[in-house]
Chains A and B, each alone.
Chain A
């Protein structure tokens, strides 16, 4: 493989890894606070792309306004999802809330088929996103470069919120101990809503970028990325934000590496995530950056 193709693949891998990281963080944040796998997270991601799609095609908004609206509405949808499907079950056994998550996922997918139609739609791409960048012998689409940059900015903001703000401190406190957090005067419901909002906003950013890179929308498009990013979160150590980012990049780079090594293997790119999951769980059951913690009862 020439250096040129290697660089090309590397850029693609980083770009895909960024998308996975954005989505994986939502899983890990919700798990950190509620000990719940939010199975509807991939569908939230799908909704974001459709909101962006309709904002541009039906409401004729400029791309930046459409993206902003998609991020805000998706964050709201994430908050509504928690209110409707998870909050009423918070004191029930964990299995009930998990089943509710699976139910919410199916509901959103099928509602999307009814409302948006099952036929694929083409994501509208503004001209500035379809340019091709030529650096030396490597030519890459501008979206491939934008994705990691936007991801880096989003991660920087998230890191700031979680580690430097009062709300972030409260989030970390709630993830450790509900009752002790209440004794500080922290409003648990607000923190949980905030977590869902932030996770969903990141999924929306991921969804929009995904649409720009793979511009075909179908109502079930959230399932595979959702599943893979859940795996990414587990690989990194679920509950750990940095771990989710690491897991996302491992998955993205690994997938591209498989495709690059032999075109014959490219059909197995989805299998890669699952094989990696099995291997990691065999040797490091808590994930790469996960800590062994006693089950919270």
Chain B
């Protein structure tokens, strides 16, 4: 579904991505793990057209999308839940959700998706009229995911959805991710919480300072020595 080939990204003088190649097949959860500053967010930003790609190609459903404006990516169903949630704190919860469906015209379908989001996150339904900025961190993450679902994603990308949340909420979030996936959603998940991410994922990539150093099915990476040492803490 998504194919990235030899992607390079520069920020000023920094070479953030040094030629990464990865693929997200349909109906799978793929995860990209790595330490802070490895280039995980840069990857997502360049897919969305928020960061300039200096070299390489990004293909989505066979279409070359490298260098297209972000609006185009969104209209094609390429949706990102950004790092740090980035909800609109000055808008109500309901308005945030409506903005998710900004480009959509299919009213009946929008209402169906809205009900689905309420089903997934009953807490949001109780707080529709509240300003989004008054929600707790976990609720804000739920809103960010709900807002993304309102965009009718074909590929849902999540950047550190568990960042800064209490362990109990993290568990909730991962359950939601699995639940969304069961409905047939393709997901590209970026996480520092490598254990939870690899457990949920069908396939994983390990990113280190702008290059992919390891890849394989999630279950295999979980027991891989190198991954265990670097990201899971060696308990042997």
Q: Please measure, in the bound complex, the distance between the C-alpha atom of A176 and the C-alpha atom of B74, giving whole angstroms.
A: 19
Q: Are A180 and B71 in contact (CB under 8 A)?
A: no
- Which DSSP category, helix, strand, loop or mixed, fits chain A's interface? helix
Contacts of A180 in B (CB 8 A): 82, 86-88
Contact check, A173 vs B99: say whether CB atoms are below 8 A apart.
yes
Residue with the greatest number of chain B CB neighbours at <10 A, chosen from A175, A180, A185, A186: A185
By a CB distance below 8 angstroms, the chain B residues around A175 are 90
Instruction: Check A169–B50 contact: CB distance below 8 A.
Output: no
The answer, yes or no, to whether A134 is at the interface (CB within 8 Å) is no
B100 touches A184 (CB 8 A): yes
Q: Are A185's CB and B71's CB within 8 A?
A: yes
Q: Is B103 part of the contact surface with A, judged by Cβ < 8 Å?
A: yes
- The docked-state distance in angstroms from the alpha carbon of A277 to that of B99 is 37
Q: Does A270 contact B (CB under 8 A)?
A: no
Within 8 A of B (CB), among A176-209: 176-177, 179-187
- A177-B91 CB under 8 A given contacts A170-B99, A184-B99, A184-B100: no
For the side of the interface on A, what is the size category?
10 to 19
Contact of A183 among B70, B75, B90 (CB under 8 A): B70
Q: How far is A191 from B90 in the complex, measured between Cα atoms in Å? A: 17
* Contact across chains for A182 and B71 when beta carbons are under 8 A apart: yes
Does A166 interact with chain B (Cβ within 8 Å)? Answer: yes
How many Å from the CB of B44 to the closest CB on chain A? 10
A172 in the interface, Cβ–Cβ < 8 Å? yes
Q: A185 near B89 (CB under 8 angstroms)? A: no
Q: Given A169-B95, A179-B82, do A185 and B90 touch, yes or no (CB 8 Å)?
A: no
Of the candidates B87, B91, B151, which one forms a contact with A185 in the assembled complex, judged by CB atoms under 8 Å apart? Answer: B151
CA of A177 to CA of B89 in the docked complex: distance in angstroms? 10
B98 close to chain A: CB less than 8 A: yes
B96: min CB distance to chain A, Å? 8
Does B86 lie within 8 Å of A184, measured CB to CB?
no
Indicate if the CB atoms of A179 and B50 lie closer than 8 Å.
yes
22 sampled A-B residue pairs with Cβ under 8 A: A169-B91, A169-B95, A169-B99, A170-B102, A172-B90, A176-B89, A176-B91, A179-B82, A180-B82, A180-B87, A181-B88, A182-B50, A182-B70, A182-B71, A183-B70, A183-B82, A184-B102, A184-B103, A185-B75, A186-B71, A186-B102, A187-B71
Q: Besides A170-B102, A182-B48, A185-B75, 16 other CB < 8 A contacts?
A: A170-B99, A172-B90, A173-B99, A176-B88, A179-B50, A180-B82, A180-B86, A182-B50, A183-B74, A183-B80, A183-B86, A184-B74, A184-B103, A184-B147, A185-B102, A185-B151
The 4 A-B pairs with the shortest beta carbon distances in the complex, nearest first, are A185-B74, A180-B86, A185-B103, A182-B70
Q: Which residues of B contact A (CB under 8 A)?
A: 48, 50, 70-71, 74-75, 79-80, 82, 86-91, 95, 98-100, 102-103, 147, 151
